[in-house]
Amino acid sequence: MALTPTENTAVSATTETDVTTPSVPAPVISPDSPGIAPSEHPLEAPRLTPITPQPGKALYRQLLPGIMQVPADLLLAASRKSSLWPMTFGLACCAIEMIATYMAHYDLDRFGIVPWPSPRQSDVMIVAGTVTKKMAPAVKLLYEQMPNPKWVISMGACATNGGPYTRYDRVLQGVDKVIPVDVYVPGCPPRPEALIDSFLALQDQIMEERSVEGRS
């Protein structure tokens, strides 16, 4: 196609401009690019720069800022104290208060405390009521059926030392004569608030003895 003089001039001018200022493609920077070491790459350089250890600051905190370090025994103890499963059985009138504590008004579930009807998966025994010498072997058997670690709460005066029936020969003078007790709850009967307080004390005790090995 024939061009008019004006169009010819325009085309020539454009061509001249292209020749004088040739467009240079932007360099593609990649770690694989020849001639660029990984340590010079703008993204890699900060990570590959050797760290100068700062005194007073752990090296892993300098290498991995934001990381949290927690002892394993602390995690285990926190898990145990936050998921106590008391075995459900009552021996006398204290059991009524224990049942009331499980109800919605006091709501033990908010502490992770869930009543469990079997010793095989329970880790807390609440001895709630009078322990007779006839009943003591059954209490001991249930305790031994619970897996380790396990804890015992003696609820009320009867379980602690016989309470009002301490003069009777057929009443055990405290359940700690047959199984170890971790927390004693005073009262005849103790109120649900007292039982909740004993659970909080037991949780503190679990955290305190977290590093003790061989807790049975």
Q: Residue from 38, 53, 137, 164 that binds ligand SF4 (CB under 6 A)?
A: 164
Query: How big is the CA angle at 196 (ends 115 and 106), to the nearest 5 degrees?
Result: 70
Q: Does residue 196 interact with ligand SF4 by CB under 6 A?
A: no
Q: Nearer to ligand SF4 by C-beta: 157 or 195?
A: 157
Rounded to an integer, what distance in angstroms lies between the CA atom of residue 172 and that of residue 199? 24
Residue nearest ligand SF4 (C-beta atom): 158
What interhelical angle do 94-102 and 192-208 show, nearest 10? 70
The reply to whether 92 sits near ligand SF4 by the rule CB under 6 A is yes
User: Should residue 189 be labelled a site residue for ligand SF4 when binding is judged by CB under 6 A?
Assistant: yes
As a whole number of angstroms, the distance between CA 119 and CA 147 comes to 8
Q: How many helices (H) and strands (E) does the chain have?
A: 8, 4
Q: Give one word for 130, left, alpha or beta, with left for phi > 0 and alpha for psi -120 to 50.
A: beta
Contacting residue, 63, 75, 103, 188, with ligand SF4 by CB under 6 A: 188
| Residue 38 interacting with ligand SF4 (CB under 6 A) | no
Q: What is the CA angle 126-127-131, rounded to 5?
A: 170
Establish if 195 lies at the interface with ligand SF4 (CB under 6 A).
Answer: no
Regarding 157 and contact with ligand SF4 (CB under 6 A), the answer is yes
**Residue 129 is a binding residue for ligand SF4 (CB under 6 A):** yes
Stretch that binds ligand SF4, among 27-35, 40-48, 90-98, 167-175 (CB under 6 A): 90-98
Residue 127 φ then ψ, to 5°: -85, 100
Does the protein bind ligand SF4 through residue 179 (CB under 6 A)? Answer: no
List of residues contacting ligand SF4 (CB under 6 A): 92-94, 129-130, 156-158, 163-164, 188-189
